[in-house]
Amino acid sequence: MTREVRSVYFVDGARTPFGKAGKKGIFAETRADDLVVNVFRELLRRNIELPPERIDDVAVAATTQTGDQGLTIGRSAALLAGLPRSVPGYSVDRMCAGAMTSVTSLSAPIMAGLYDVALAGGVEHMGRHPMGEGVDPNPRFLAEKLVDPEALLMGKTAENLHDRFPHLTKDRADAYAVASQEKTAKAYANGKIQPMLVPVATRSAEGGFGLATTDEPPRPGTSLESLGSLKTPFRPHGRVTAGNAAGLNDGATAAILAAEEVADELGLQKRMRLVSFAFAGVEPEVMGIGPVPSTEKALGKAGLTIDDIGLFEVNEAFAIQVLAFLDHFGIADEDPRVNPYGGAIAVGHPLASSGIRLMTYLANEFEEHPEVRYGLTTMCIGLGMGGTVIWENPNYDGKKDN
């Protein structure tokens, strides 16, 4: 049987508010799988035109797949959310790019005509499951010098990136971080972020029951002076601080994907068309440079150049990682096309969930910018990788060729 390649659309995306990891965080006593269930249910509520039995597969990512993030969470969360038992599911692990990989892994069979509709997601409860919990790195990594020991500590890889690009100074990283906080505060003030959030009921042995409706990590009013006084925990007199890096966070995201003709049949939104995607490997010791080769690969597969991209959603694991990406492509630190709503330095980075947050932001930005034809979502990935997805804006009005 010969099949035609079909267009895949991002139909809708949503997320929980992101919380601070730890005993005092808003989700300290909330299960990770329940975070996913909340987002699944909200997406199905918002998209009532989608019969749940039409969902062909569910993929949910988690970096630490144990406890309430284990048990093949794609399948278990689907059952807990009330999807028909006929809907299968599976788990994904590509560290920080888990949710991004959920989307790309499900998009391929949709393109091939094997699936019609799919549900992608990602979750990380770093309070319950700290990064690296329970892992047992093979001794060959160090014994055979396959990687430097610092490759296993993300903060140290960020310091290594500063070493490689000394012109990307701490002052520039701090200035970028302040801008991220300011853009997030402005986006909240203008009501841009709130519609993407799914309220989550919370409980605390001390505080009782509550309702999480906004992100916990943002620090509005952050200044260069306040960032300049922060400690550099990964290296004495270093450049990476808690202020110019994403924190440790809890949260979940999810998105609906569909083939073009199926979206039309069901009356679903077509918010972004997937153009191309790519993942690339780099030296684990400087994993933050990963978005550069993955973006070059994705652009090449799409027949585009960086000049064709009108909006960028770059995950802010560390400010230096974003600056290295921008510097490589000749984009100014303060370019308004980059992370218009702010990014992970402000709202947080619950590892495997962040890829769909980037996509949801971009889908909303596309609606505000019909003059933009193409945008991308990109992120660095632990152990030396990068991932990029290029999207086309269905609202593009042709008035500007970008």
pLDDT in tens, 228-259: 999 999 999 999 999 999 999 999 999 999 99
Instruction: Give the global pTM.
Output: 0.96
Q: Is residue 12 part of a domain?
A: yes
The mean predicted confidence, pLDDT, of the chain is 96
pLDDT-derived band at 125 (thresholds 50, 70, 90) equals very high
Q: Is residue 102 part of a domain?
A: yes
- What b/e sequence results for 10-42 when a residue is b if at least 16 CB atoms lie within 10 Å of its CB, and e otherwise? bbbbbbbbbbbbeeebbbbebbbbbbbbbbbbb
Which pair of structure tokens corresponds to residue 331? 């984009």
Q: Percent of the chain scored above 70 by pLDDT?
A: 99
Q: Which long-range contacts (CB under 8 A, 24 or more apart) does 326-329 make?
A: 327/165, 327/167, 327/168, 328/292, 329/292, 329/295
Q: Is residue 188 part of a domain?
A: no
Q: Is residue 240 part of a domain?
A: no
**Catalytically active residues, by annotation:** 96, 349, 380
Task: Give per-residue pLDDT as tens, 284-305.
Answer: 999 999 999 999 999 999 999 9
Query: Does an H or E element contain 91, and which?
Result: strand 90-92
Task: Give per-residue pLDDT as tens, 62-118.
Answer: 999 999 999 999 999 999 999 999 999 999 999 999 999 999 999 999 999 999 999
3-state secondary structure of 226: helix
Which residue, 324, 310, 321, is CA-closest to 343? 321
Q: How far apart are CA 65 and CA 115, in angstroms?
A: 26
Q: Is residue 3 part of a domain?
A: no
CA distances from 224 to 173, 221, 251, 317 (A): 10, 10, 28, 19
Q: Residue 400 — φ and ψ, nearest 5°?
A: -145, 130
Q: Is residue 132 part of a domain?
A: no
Report the pLDDT value the prediction gives residue 137, as an integer from 0 to 100: 87
CA–CA–CA angle 236, 386, 377 (5° rounding): 110
Query: Does an H or E element contain 157, and which?
Result: helix 154-164
Q: Residue 69 — φ and ψ, nearest 5°?
A: -110, 5
Task: Give per-residue pLDDT as tens, 172-181.
Answer: 999 999 999 9
The enclosing domain of 304 has a CATH number of 3.40.47.10
pLDDT-derived band at 400 (thresholds 50, 70, 90) equals low
Task: Give per-residue pLDDT as tens, 154-174.
Answer: 999 999 999 999 999 999 999
Quote the DSSP letter at residue 34. Answer: H
Q: State the residue range of the domain holding 282.
A: 8-127+247-391
Q: Which phi-psi region, left, alpha or beta, contains residue 157 (left: φ > 0; alpha: ψ -120 to 50)?
A: alpha
Q: How far apart are CA 110 and CA 9, in angstroms?
A: 10
Q: Is residue 30 part of a domain?
A: yes
Report the pLDDT value the prediction gives residue 221, as an integer from 0 to 100: 94
Task: Give per-residue pLDDT as tens, 85-101.
Answer: 999 999 999 999 999 99
The upper half-sphere exposure of residue 208, i.e. CA atoms within 13 Å in the direction of its Cβ, equals 0
Task: Give per-residue pLDDT as tens, 319-375.
Answer: 999 999 999 999 999 999 999 999 999 999 999 999 999 999 999 999 999 999 999
Report the pLDDT value the prediction gives residue 196, as an integer from 0 to 100: 97
Q: Specify the residue for token string 């990380």.
A: 124
User: What pairing do the DSSP bridges indicate for beta strands 374-381 and 117-125?
Assistant: unpaired
Burial class (CB within 10 angstroms; exposed 0-12, middle 13-18, buried 19+) of 376? buried
Tell me, what amino acid is at 295? Answer: T
pLDDT-derived band at 141 (thresholds 50, 70, 90) equals confident
Report the pLDDT value the prediction gives residue 402, as an integer from 0 to 100: 47
Which pair of structure tokens corresponds to residue 238? 């270093």
Q: Is residue 228 part of a domain?
A: no
Which pair of structure tokens corresponds to residue 338? 């980059």
Rg (CA), the chain: 20
Q: How far apart are CA 40 and CA 194, in angstroms?
A: 17
Domain count, the chain: 1
Mean per-residue pLDDT for 271-283?
A: 98
